[in-house]
Amino acid sequence: MLRHLVSLSTIATISLASMYSQDQLFLGQVQQSGNPFDESTHELFVNPWFSQEVLASKTLTDDQKQKLKDISAAFWVDTEYAISTRVPSLKTLLDKAAEKAKTTSKKQTVVFIHYNLPNRDCAASASNGEICCSGNAPDPNSGSCDDQSYTGGECSKGLAKYHSYTDKVVSLLENYPDLEIVALVEPDSLPNLATNLGQKPHCTQTTADAYVQGVTYAISQLAKLPHVSMYLDVAHGGWLGWCGTHPCSQDTECGSGNMCLRGTCECPPEQQSQNAQKFVSTIKGIFNNVGQDAQSRVRGFATNTANYQPLGYPDDNDHCQLKSQWNFAWNELRYMDQMDALMKKNGISKHWITDTGRNGVPESRSDANQCAQWCNVKSGLGLRPTSNVSALQQQLRSAQIDAVIWSKTPGESDGCSPGSSQKCTRVDYMCQRDCNSQFQKCPAPEAGQWDDDMIRYLVDHARPSL
């Protein structure tokens, strides 16, 4: 997955707003009731296969294993095979959760990542997907799709496969109406269109159309299930954070109707050339296409998915030195506030979650170049998943946060790097760039595979400690 920090020099000028007629945009703010993470009524289901990986670790101490094994992390459904064929699969996970639900009065909340778009991960190579727009299989040696997938101008074959994948997920979820199911929809996809469309060889208009149509279909289908809540991925502050205008101490310094958010004026929505505005325009277009009922099933937005950006509490320091580049969203609390205010300016009011699985050491990267690194960063476990976020909410002026969660399973690799015992099929430059540094872990296995040395590092440097 692409989890990079975008510099000012790479800001794209191509706008997706033209894809939608502004007078057609749906601005409804209807929302389903209830926080699916509310610990007074819900319990985050613990993935038993994560527990098995932890207990089988040869690097963790027995004490560390006992403290880590019962922490919930999301399950990635990144292939059709992962729906019900392999073990573990989404089906086996839901079966286990249904069994657990019989033994407790609290509703079991199961979080999964819906992640299988055609031409997936167009700006990186570590986690290319199985579906290509051409309908052909990816290159087995690189994981990339063929040129026709990126330049052919249409994606009917790829989207047909994605529809089949989504339909099978929905058909499976229908069988578990007593579970609370949370779908985090397609990390990296829509943010890539805001910053990398036309800037990266695989981020073409064909890919962009496939992403928008695919996410639209996923929302429309998942919305049919009343026990499923959705959160859309919105990248992180190091990706779409170049949005504020200038420092401030009060609202009057920010122009008519604009707020001063934690010392910085909120994003001016009229600046359509900026990446954050292009991203919000894409969201508005999708919400318009799916209609009021479906968009109301989108509970909110998810930040920092599988990334390492600092949370911003209790440490609010600008370790990545983003402020010097006029990015005032140097941590995720600041980013949520900033993006939420921009969403509301555009008629969209939702809730927020953020991934704290691996951002416990905010100073693990110390400048903008280091903070561009998203692959196998030597950080530490962050806040444990919880809906008890009142201390975080007090830091926010605009955004309403539902929970902090672990979207990426700590201990699973971001991508393959040299020195691994196996051949690297999906090779991304970023997974090798800083191997000689102190902050990137090398060697590492393929994306999604267990790295026993990394989990020990993350646990040893956890904040708060286990």
Q: Is 80 annotated as a binding residue?
A: no
Annotated active-site residue 414? The verdict is yes
For residue 58, how many other CB atoms are within 10 A of its CB? 7
3-state secondary structure the chain: CCCCCCCHHHCCCCCCHHHCCHHHCCCCCCCCCCCCCCCCCEEECCCHHHHHHHHCCCCCCHHHHHHHCCCCCCEEECCCHHHHCCCCCHHHHHHHHHHHHCCCCCEEEEEEEECCCCCCCCCCCCCCCCCCCCCCCCCCCCCCCCHHHHHCCCCHHHHHHHHHHHHHHHHHHCCCCCCEEEEEECCCHHHHHHHCCCCCCCCCHHHHHHHHHHHHHHHHHHCCCCCEEEEEECCCHHHHCCCCCCECCCHHHHCCCCCEECCEECCCCCCCCCHHHHHHHHHHHHHHHHCHHHHCCEEEEEECCCCCCCCCCCCCCCCCCCHHHCCCCCCHHHHHHHHHHHHHHCCCCCEEEEECCCCCCHHHCCCHHHHCCCCCECCCCCCCCECCCHHHHCCCCCCCEEEEECCCCCCECCCEECCCCCCCCCECHHHCCCCCCCCECCCECCCCCECHHHHHHHHHCCCCCC
Task: Assess whether 188 carries a catalytic annotation.
Answer: yes
What is the C-alpha to C-alpha distance for residues 429 and 374, in angstroms, rounded to an integer? Answer: 11
Q: Which of 121, 188, 209, 340 is catalytic?
A: 188
Torsion of CA 96, 83, 120, 434, to 10 degrees: 40
- Whether residue 58 is annotated as binding a ligand: the answer is no
408 is in an annotated binding site: yes
Does 38 belong to an annotated binding site? Answer: no
Bridge partners, 303 (sequence order): 354
Is 307 annotated among the ligand-binding residues? yes
Catalytic residue among 121, 337, 402, 414: 414
Q: CA-CA distance, 466 to 382, in Å (whole number)? A: 10
Q: Is 450 annotated as a binding residue?
A: no
Annotated binding site for substrate: 76, 78, 236, 239, 307, 374, 408, 412
* Residues with catalytic function: 188, 414
Binding residues: 76, 78, 236, 239, 307, 374, 408, 412
